[in-house]
Amino acid sequence: MHLTASADYALRAVLEIAAADPELTTAERISKAQCIPLKFIENILGTLKRAGIVNARRGVDGGYWLAKPATRIALADVIRAIEGPLANVRGTRPEQLRYSGPARPLKDVWIAVRANLRSVLEEVTVADVLRAKLPPVVSKLTRRSEAWQPH
C-alpha cells in the first residue's frame, strides 16, 4: 500500500481536530502542531469538509470540528475522502479487472489485498488512535515479527 502525503496529512489533521474537541481547531494550529504546510492543510481540510468528515466555521472564532463522533470515523473514511478507493490497479477497482490465462488468479489476489486493508483501516477509528488503544486484530498483527520487516 502506498499512502500519499495528502492522506497522511489528512489523518493527522483529523486527529488534531478530534484531540481538541469540543474546541474548534484552526488550520494554522494543525499546520504548526503537525509541521504541515498551511496551504496544503487548508486544501485537505476543504476536501474533508466536502466529504462530511469535518465541519468548518469562518471568522475570528472559526475553525474546524468533526462532523460526527470520533468513534464513528474510521481511518478508511479519511483515506477514501482524500485518495478514493483503498485498493485499485491502474485506477480500476479489483472486481472490475479482467485477466486471462495464467494471470487470471491475480484478480483474487487484489480482492484479498483490499479485504485485508479494510480489515484494519475500517476497524480503527479516530477515537482508537486518540486513546492509543487499537482494536485487538490490529494489535495482534503488529506483534508478528514479519510485520516489522521493511519488505
Could you tell me the domains of the chain? 5-148 (1.10.10.10)
* Residue 13: all three cell numbers together: 489533521
- At 140 the pLDDT is 92
Tell me, yes or no, if the pTM score tops 0.85: yes
Give residue 111's pLDDT: 93
Under DSSP, the state recorded for 4 is: -
Phi, psi of 66 (to 5 degrees): -70, 140
- pLDDT tens string 30-71: 999 999 999 999 999 999 999 999 999 998 889 999 999 999
Q: How far is CA 111 from the centre of its chain?
A: 19
**Stated length of the chain:** 151
Task: Determine the Cα angle at 150 with ends 128 and 95, to 5°.
Answer: 70
Residues in the chain where the model's pLDDT stays below 70? none
Task: Output the pLDDT for position 2.
Answer: 82
